[in-house]
């Protein structure tokens, strides 16, 4: 492990002890789970065991919450500039571990090393550096009083203990979009990562520990979400909950955490809309990224592609040709690979089922459509293009989370907007048109929290407000830069009588 950075006597940045199982980080120390339970991390590309981790439970989660609750007041009382310095140290530690973190991401999650893994690590560094800057810009108000002898001060103060539960599809950046602003705002954190990519989570935690945070300010408990995550979000000592994941799990968390501040980034299903005056080549390239980045395992993936009937056939021809030429499924460690395996069997089975059901009900399979176990694992799934998708098919109604382009022909933008309106989701959509005014009108009418014009659905920037539209199943609140900090702090009013 790199050497511990300079820190005050109250800080702890201990290296994880030798051995596989002390992978919980609680109150400034690495530890095994209560009772010694463990679970294995496996590679989705080969099925091989890559490590053994501590399987935490409710007792471990409670210990972590206790440590966080004890440390939160002092951490919240530190200077924002001191917190910013700690976040900068974390960013530097991540940057120094760039090769290691990218390699672990490829091994544990399955992302292609060169095409995607390094990019996620670079974004991870950005999240902590951005939070460091945002920490020094937390501002309050001095509103007027009706009494001229009084002064009103409104401070923005930390929530206290933030419980964070994160998914496996982006095991570095999704935790960072919650952990970094929570720490910057002066909160203590208890984190339960997804079981499928917990090896990545421990590697990230090691870098965070190098930042020299006070004991108890940052805590990691690996283990099943229905135990560890449930304990965290339901504990009354936890005052705010951040979650990224499916709409189904998000609804459960919202019920369990009733009365707490909630920041929920949930699912979506696009769509990507291509109007009759679109630049077809640009639209096709955006489709490739929208549907095959991270093998389609993204809440902003192009889960539906709506193409104007006037250009439908030309779009299909160019798309199929481009997919066959440019999307390279294979060993994620190979530099030539652009798409790796799916992360887990549950996702692979869902993709297989939805594709099969769509074809049985009349969809046209233009490429792919099956697993490719000959590549080393049953989790490899061919890049797939489906046409003639109807709204009655499961693939049109629910997230697939697999490498599929599900295409439907539409008659103009009005029909596209109707499809968006009927969807239970409202996270992100995109539209392609050469007419900027037309695109802007469409974007303003679309029921989604974010709309891209002439850009794919997987494009977003980490400092901008991101989240689902009110009334949809796509979440609550906004993540992104200072918008996360605003959600993870609250206003405190102080009135001073000068008379």
129-173: pLDDT as tens digits: 999 999 999 999 999 999 999 999 999 999 999 999 999 999 999
The token duo for 436 is 């900027």
Give the C-alpha separation, 75 to 217, whole Å: 7
Range of the domain at 173: 24-266+478-492
Q: Does 242 share its domain with 316?
A: no
Q: Does 206 share its domain with 290?
A: no
Q: How confident is the model at residue 20 (pLDDT cuts 50, 70, 90)?
A: low
Q: 134 near 181, Cβ under 8 Å?
A: yes
How confident is the prediction for the chain on average, in pLDDT? Answer: 95
Q: Does 325 share its domain with 242?
A: no
Q: Is the pLDDT of residue 19 over 90?
A: no
Give the C-alpha separation, 25 to 387, whole Å: 48
User: Within a domain: residue 497?
Assistant: no
The CATH number that applies at residue 405 is 3.40.309.10
Q: Which of 473, 4, 489 is nearest to 240 (CA)?
A: 489
Q: Does 307 share its domain with 258?
A: no
Section 183-197 average pLDDT: 98
User: Within a domain: residue 99?
Assistant: yes
Q: Does 439 share its domain with 324?
A: yes
| Contact residues for 270 (Cβ-Cβ < 8 A; gap 6+) | 290, 300, 301, 302, 303, 304, 305, 428, 429, 430, 457
Q: 191 near 222, Cβ under 8 Å?
A: no
Q: Is the pLDDT of residue 71 over 80?
A: yes
Kindly state the percentage of the chain with pLDDT values over 70. 96
Q: Does 293 share its domain with 253?
A: no
Q: Is the pLDDT of residue 67 over 60?
A: yes
Total domains in the fold of the chain? 2
The CATH number that applies at residue 33 is 3.40.605.10
User: Within a domain: residue 49?
Assistant: yes
Q: Catalytic site residues?
A: 265, 299
442-495: pLDDT as tens digits: 999 999 999 999 999 999 999 999 999 999 999 999 999 999 999 999 999 999
Give the C-alpha separation, 489 to 240, whole Å: 9
Q: Does 259 share its domain with 295?
A: no
Q: Does 171 share its domain with 107?
A: yes
75-121: pLDDT as tens digits: 999 999 999 999 999 999 999 999 999 999 999 999 999 999 999 99
Q: Does 144 share its domain with 214?
A: yes
User: Within a domain: residue 467?
Assistant: no
User: Within a domain: residue 10?
Assistant: no
Give the C-alpha separation, 383 to 381, whole Å: 7
Q: Does 156 share its domain with 38?
A: yes
Q: Does 120 share its domain with 238?
A: yes
Q: Which pLDDT score, from 0 to 100, does residue 291 have?
A: 98
User: Per-residue b/e over 109-139, b at no fewer than 16 CB within 10 Å?
Assistant: bbbbbbbbbbebbeebbbbbbbbbebbeebe
Q: 271 near 306, Cβ under 8 Å?
A: yes
Q: Does 284 share its domain with 372?
A: yes
Q: Which pLDDT score, from 0 to 100, does residue 430 have?
A: 98
The token duo for 307 is 């193409």
Give the C-alpha separation, 86 to 4, whole Å: 12
User: Within a domain: residue 259?
Assistant: yes
253-301: pLDDT as tens digits: 999 999 999 999 999 998 999 999 999 999 999 999 999 999 999 999 9
User: Within a domain: residue 15?
Assistant: no
Q: Which pLDDT score, from 0 to 100, does residue 9 have?
A: 26
pTM: 0.95
User: Within a domain: residue 16?
Assistant: no
């Amino acid at each position: 492990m790199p050497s511990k950075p300079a820190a005050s006597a109250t800080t702890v940045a201990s290296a994880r002890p030798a051995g596989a199982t002390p992978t919980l980080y609680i109150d400034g120390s690495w530890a095994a789970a209560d009772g010694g339970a463990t679970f294995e991390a496996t590679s989705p590309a080969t099925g091989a065991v890559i490590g053994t981790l501590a399987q935490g439970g409710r007792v471990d989660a409670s210990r972590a919450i206790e440590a966080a609750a004890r440390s939160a007041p002092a951490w919240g009382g530190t200077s924002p500039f001191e917190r910013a310095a700690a976040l900068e140290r974390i960013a530097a530690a991540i940057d120094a571990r760039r090769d290691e973190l990218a390699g672990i991401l490829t091994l544990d999650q399955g992302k292609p090393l060169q095409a995607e893994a390094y990019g996620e690590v670079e974004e991870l560094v950005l999240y902590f550096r951005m939070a460091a800057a945002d920490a020094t810009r937390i501002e309050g108000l001095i509103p007027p009083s009706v009494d001229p002898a009084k002064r009103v001060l409104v401070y923005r103060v930390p929530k206290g203990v933030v419980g964070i539960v994160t998914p496996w599809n982006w095991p570095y950046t999704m935790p960072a979009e919650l952990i970094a602003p929570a720490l910057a705002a002066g909160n203590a954190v208890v984190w339960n990562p997804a079981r499928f990519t917990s090896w990545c989570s421990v590697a990230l935690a090691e870098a965070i520990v190098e930042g020299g945070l006070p004991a108890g300010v940052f805590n990691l408990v690996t283990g099943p979400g229905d135990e560890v995550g449930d304990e965290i979000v339901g504990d009354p000592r936890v005052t705010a909950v951040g979650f990224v994941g499916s709409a189904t799990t998000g609804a459960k968390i919202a019920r369990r955490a009733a009365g707490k501040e909630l920041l929920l980034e949930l699912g979506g299903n696009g769509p990507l809309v291509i109007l009759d005056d679109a630049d077809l080549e640009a639209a096709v390239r955006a489709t490739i990224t929208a549907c095959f980045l991270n093998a389609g395992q993204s809440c902003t993936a192009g889960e539906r592609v709506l193409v104007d009937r006037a250009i439908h056939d030309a779009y299909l021809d160019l798309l199929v040709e481009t997919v066959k030429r440019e999307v390279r499924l294979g060993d994620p460690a190979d530099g030539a690979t652009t798409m790796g395996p799916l992360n887990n069997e549950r996702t692979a089975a869902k993709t297989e089922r939805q594709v099969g059901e769509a074809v049985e009900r009349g969809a046209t399979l233009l490429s792919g459509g099956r697993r490719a176990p000959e590549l080393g694992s049953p989790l490899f799934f061919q890049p797939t293009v489906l046409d003639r998708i109807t709204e009655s098919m499961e693939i049109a109604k629910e997230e697939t989370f697999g490498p599929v382009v599900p295409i439907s022909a539409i008659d103009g933008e009005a029909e596209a907007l109707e499809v968006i309106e009927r969807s239970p989701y409202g996270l992100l959509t995109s539209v392609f048109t050469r007419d900027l005014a037309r695109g802007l009108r469409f974007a303003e009418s679309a029921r989604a929290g974010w709309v891209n014009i002439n850009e794919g659905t997987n494009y977003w920037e980490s400092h901008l407000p991101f989240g689902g539209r009110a009334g949809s199943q796509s979440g609550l609140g906004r993540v992104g830069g200072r918008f996360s900090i605003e959600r993870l702090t609250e206003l405190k009013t102080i009135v001073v009588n000068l008379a």
